Amino acid sequence: MTETIAKKVIYACTKCGEAYVALQSRAFVKQAKSFRCRLCDDVVLRWIGDYDFSDWERALTRQHMNAHT
Ligand SMILES: [Zn+2]
């Protein structure tokens, strides 16, 4: 039995706090990969092994972007 259903996961950039949604799925080839923040270019996640992460997009939480006027 192989689990092929992708699961949505959220990771936040530890540097600027931007949140990203990615699809987690089983990886069949062990390959070191990483995803960098599109805002500050810091590494949000590095992974290797049983799971792969794809379809990175910004999570729709922009409260912290609101300017305090
Ligand atoms: Zn960032």
Q: What is the pLDDT of residues 57-69, one digit of tens each?
A: 999 755 555 555 5
Q: Is 43 helix (H, G, I), strand (E, B) or coil?
A: strand
pLDDT of residue 28: 87
- Contact between 53 and 42 under an 8 Å Cβ cutoff? The reply is no
Taking the domains of the chain in order of start, what are their residue ranges?
7-61
Q: Which residues pair with 23 in a beta bridge?
A: 8, 54
Q: What is the pLDDT of residues 43-58, one digit of tens each?
A: 999 999 999 999 999 9
The pTM assigned to this predicted structure is 0.76
Q: Residue 30 CA to chain centroid, in angstroms?
A: 18
Report the DSSP pairing between strands 19-26 and 33-36.
unpaired
Q: What protein residues have CB closer than 5 angstroms to ion ligand 1?
A: 13, 15-16, 18, 37, 39-40, 42
Q: What is the pLDDT of residues 1-27, one digit of tens each?
A: 555 688 999 999 999 999 999 999 999
> How far does residue 52's CA lie from ligand 1's centre (Å)?
21
What is the distance between the alpha carbons of residues 41 and 65, in angstroms, rounded to a whole number? 18
